[in-house]
Amino acid sequence: MGKRILITGVAGFLGSHLADKLISQNHEVVGVDSLLGGYFDNVPEGVEFHVLDCNDRAVIDVAKDIDIIFHRAATAYEGLSVFSPHMINHNNFQSTAQLLNATVTHNVDRFVYTSSMARYGTNEARLKKL
């Protein structure tokens, strides 16, 4: 029997492809996405989908009976932290803390955090070497 897995950011590029793969391996996938940067059409068939911000208290309830949390939800707009640090803090750091709280509250076996390469931006010196 497969695991019951929660994927945040399931309507985004990384989350939707991960959900496809896990469903093909007979895991039960629960998905959360606020649709701030993702698209409903990206959510794979078979996902128990919740339109929910990871900062909402309800995400703790969604994590009940989950074996693994894959945290893929983030605001990954390069340079935005300079203009809207509050939004970046809220959407990236506080949401991670909320999901870690859910992990502890429900004794989730594993928490996997993945970041987008977009958060690192581009490095002109490195690009010139290529």
CATH number of the domain that residue 64 is part of? 3.40.50.720
For residue 23, what are the domain limits? 4-129
Which residues on adjacent β-strands are paired with residue 31? 7, 49
The mean per-residue pLDDT over the stretch 110-123 comes to 70
Which one, of 79, 76, 122, lies nearest residue 95 by Cα?
Answer: 76
Report the predicted TM-score, pTM, of the whole model to 2 decimal places.
0.84
- Does position 115 have pLDDT exceeding 80, yes or no? no
48 pLDDT tier (thresholds 50, 70, 90): very high
93 pLDDT tier (thresholds 50, 70, 90): confident
126 pLDDT tier (thresholds 50, 70, 90): low
Q: Based on the structure, what is the number of domains in the chain?
A: 1
Task: Give the pairing type, strands 110-113 and 4-8.
Answer: unpaired
pLDDT at 124: 62
Q: Is 11 within 8 Å of 39 (Cβ atoms)?
A: yes
The mean per-residue pLDDT over the stretch 97-126 comes to 80
- Does position 86 have pLDDT exceeding 80, yes or no? no
The mean per-residue pLDDT over the stretch 108-130 comes to 68
Distance CA 38, CA 110 (A): 24
